[in-house]
Structure 1
């Protein structure tokens, strides 16, 4: 007795799993490549703000609250007032975000500082001693 074998079907390789994996890898590398070079943002860790040129530069401390508002000398600052404060040439700007400050507020403030032509801007991170 002879058993009839079914005709061999053409096997196809499905590309759907491959496309899914490539898409996940693409998203992963796009997200992680933004944080690849962390040395592009100078961070003051010891609180020293001495000038590299040895001169006396005025220092402006800008704090970012948890609501995203920029605070200068205890008062919320509008973008117009911020632009006029940053217009003084040769000043140092220190940016101190609170722990709950949104990232968009930090990037907006850093963009405003760069657009004002400030060349000495630093991001300060406070750490608890212990």
Structure 2
């Protein structure tokens, strides 16, 4: 007696498990990545970048101030640390004079401190604020 076995269905390779794994990896890397290295954040224009043509009447002629963000998250102006009230007064004065602001964060400055400083700058009404960094010469 010969028994007829049913034919096996052809096996198909599906991509669903691969897509699931790739999605899980994508979410994992998005959640675990932390931007602590401030060199990864795009900063002010470099000399290699093409300069935008700005009419002379739009250029700001007010004072330029350099604020340094220390590794501890404190804001320093001309070597002196500013408390939050002093910083607010300084930013409001600079905004009233139409001044420009350069922010120089140290390489190990907390990102949250930089965000707070940028928020305070915007709240004070300073229009021209830029992040700068010092690069080593070759």
Same fold (TM over 0.5): yes
Tell me what 1:99 maps to.
107
**Structure 1 stretches lacking a partner, 5+ long:** 32-36, 46-51
Residue of structure 1 aligned with 2:78, choices 73, 80, 103: 73
Relative to structure 1, the CA distance from residue 43 to residue 27 in structure 2 (aligned partners, 3 Å threshold; closer, same or farther) is farther
| Aligned equivalents of 2:24, 2:120: Cα separation in 1 | 35
Tell me what 1:124 maps to.
132
Tell me what 1:25 maps to.
26
Structure 1 residue runs of 4 or more that deviate by more than 6 Å after TM superposition? none
User: Residue 64 of structure 1 contacts residue 70 of structure 1 at CA under 8 Å; is this kept in 2?
Assistant: yes
| Aligned equivalents of 2:102, 2:46: Cα separation in 1 | 9
Q: What do you get for the CA RMSD once the two structures are aligned?
A: 3.7
User: Residue 43 of structure 1 contacts residue 125 of structure 1 at CA under 8 Å; is this kept in 2?
Assistant: no
Aligned pairs for 1:32-71 within 5 A:
38=42, 41-43=43-45, 53=58, 56-71=61-76
CA apart distance, 1:29: 6.4
How many residues align structurally? 117
Tell me what 2:50 maps to.
none
Tell me what 1:108 maps to.
116
**Structure 2 stretches lacking a partner, 5+ long:** 34-40, 48-55
User: Residue 61 of structure 2 contacts residue 99 of structure 2 at CA under 8 Å; is this kept in 1?
Assistant: no
CA apart distance, 1:25: 2.5
CA apart distance, 1:22: 1.4
CA apart distance, 1:43: 4.1
CA apart distance, 1:75: 1.5
Give CA-to-partner distance per residue, 1:69-98, whole Å, 9 cap, x none: 111121111222111111122111110111
| Aligned equivalents of 1:58, 1:44: Cα separation in 2 | 21
Give CA-to-partner distance per residue, 1:29-73, whole Å, 9 cap, x none: 687xxxxx94xx53466xxxxxx6455311221101111111112
